[in-house]
Every structure is written in C-alpha cells, then in structure tokens.
Amino acid sequence: MFQALVNPDRFMAFSRWAAPLFGVIALVLAAAGLVLDFQAPPDYQQGYTVHIMFIHVPAAFMSEFVYVCLGVASFLSLVFRHALATAAARAAAPLGAGFTLLALVTGSLWGRPTWGTWWVWDPRLTSVLVLFLFYLGYMALEAAIEDETKAARAAAILALVGLINLPIVHYSVVWWNSLHQGSSLLRAGGPAMPAVYLAPLLLMVFAYMAGFGALWLVRIRGEVWRRRAAVLAMRAAT
C-alpha cells in the first residue's frame, strides 16, 4: 500500500479504482446523512436552522483537516523532494479553500437568524476566516512565481509556517473571544448532543471526508498527467 503512495505508476493504478470508490462511499454516506438530517426534529433553541449545522460543521472540520493534509504534503515535498508530495499539496489547496468558503457562508447563514447579524466574531468562524486567508495566500504565492519548482517550494514553506501558526491563531482567537464574552454559536441540543443529531452529523462528516479523498485523488492524477505532458512536450521540442 505504501508503494502506491511513493511510486507514481503504482499511485496511478491505485487511484484509478480508489477515487471512484471513495466517491461512491461519499455519496452513500451523504445520502444516509441527509435522510437522518431531515428526520431530525427542530432544536429547542435554534429551531429549523439546526439543519444548517449538518453542512456547516463538516465543512469547518474539513477546512482544517485539509490544511493539515496540505501541511504534511508540503513537509514531505520539502524534505524528500518527492513529486507526488508536491502534486498532493498543490491539489489540496483549492479543495481546502472550497470547504473553508462553505464553512464561512453556511456559518453566516446559520448565525443570521439566531443573532440578527450576517457575521459573528465567534472564535470558530474567526479562525476559519483567518484559515481562508491562509489558503488564499498560499494559492496567490504559488501562482505568482513563474518557475514551477520554485513556486512549489515557496508555497510549501508558507504552508508549514501557516500550519505552525494555526494552533496559535486558534488559541489567540479563543482567548480574545473569552475576554469580550462574545457570542458563541450555540451547540444544538445543549451541552451533550443527542443521538438524533449526532448520527447525521457524523455521517455527513465522514461523507465530506470521503468526498475529499475522492477529489484529492482525482486532482493528484490530473497533476501527474500534467507533469508528464510537460515532460513529453519538452522532449518533443528538442
């Protein structure tokens, strides 16, 4: 299995069946999650808007999870200079940015009916906003440098700097929020989430993870082909 991650040809063979499989798993989990989602009763505090939680929390979780994946891929890319690692880092960024955007938009829509404003400086939403800026900076840096190898390395360094900073950002935002006794998005159902909410939530989180797995593999495949095409074009030109 490890070979599939290290050897590009083995990776292509592995991802050829793995990507669609993850895709199918994602769809099945999402279907199950959505079924349970709309069978769940309205929350005693938030009413029907609790249904947004089932698409907001997975998106917020994935925005962080993908950044960690990006960081690990970047680290491997820097240390081992492995082309697959570089491809994986590059492929993950737009997906992470997409999840982060979803977390922000759904978070805003979730907060509006409960708090009366379109944005709340809730520690989690604020952290997600900063994370969104991390993603944008990463993608901007990579796009701004012409030489592809240099661009990948620079972006990898930035990803690692961002990864180290991420827990500190979390801590500082939580600390600041506790000072101001700011609003915090209420957990549906009070302190302990009842099973009727927990089940669809977990299903959706796993659905999002499987979906990310599928899309990440597809994008890495695209990257591998892109590099091969570039190499072939260079050989043809000489």
Partner 1 sequence: MSGFSLILRRELALSWAGGGGPFLALGFYVAMASLLPLALGADPARMAGIAPGFAWLVLALASLLSLERMFERDFEDGALDLIALGPAPLEMTALAKGLAQWIAIAAPLALLAPVIVAALGAPTRLTPIVVTCGLIGGLSFCFLGGVGAALSLGSRRGGVLIALIVLPLFTPPVIFGAGAIEAFVAGLDWRTPLLLLCAYSLGATALCPFAMAAAARNAIS
Partner 2 sequence: MFDFDAGRYALFVWPAYAVTALVFAILILDSLLRARRWRRAVEAAKPEAPQ
Q: Give the interface with partner 2 as residue ranges (CB under 8 A).
A: 12, 35, 38-42, 47-49, 51-52, 55-56, 59, 94-95, 98, 101-102, 105-106, 109-110, 112-113, 211, 215, 218-219, 221-223, 225-226, 228-229, 232-233, 236
Alpha-carbon distance 10 to 217, whole Å? 13
Question: Of the candidates 108, 114, 172, 183, which one interacts with partner 1 according to CB under 8 A?
Answer: 172
Alpha-carbon distance 45 to 111, whole Å? 13
Question: Of the candidates 11, 67, 110, 134, which one interacts with partner 1 according to CB under 8 A?
Answer: 134
Instruction: Establish if 234 lies at the interface with partner 1 (CB under 8 A).
Output: no
H or E element that contains 184: none
Specify whether the CB–CB gap between 17 and 67 falls below 8 A: no
By beta-carbon proximity to partner 1, the closer residue of 29 and 131 is: 131
Instruction: Establish if 94 lies at the interface with partner 1 (CB under 8 A).
Output: no
Alpha-carbon distance 46 to 50, whole Å? 6
Which of the stretches 6-14, 68-76, 160-168, 223-231 binds partner 1 when contact is defined by CB under 8 A? 160-168
Q: Judged by CB under 8 A, how many residues of this single chain contact partner 1? A: 30
Alpha-carbon distance 1 to 136, whole Å? 33
What does the DSSP assignment read for 62-102? HHHHHHHHHHHHHHHHHHH--HHHHHHHHHHHHHHHHHHHH
By beta-carbon proximity to partner 2, the closer residue of 91 and 173 is: 91
By beta-carbon proximity to partner 2, the closer residue of 128 and 173 is: 128
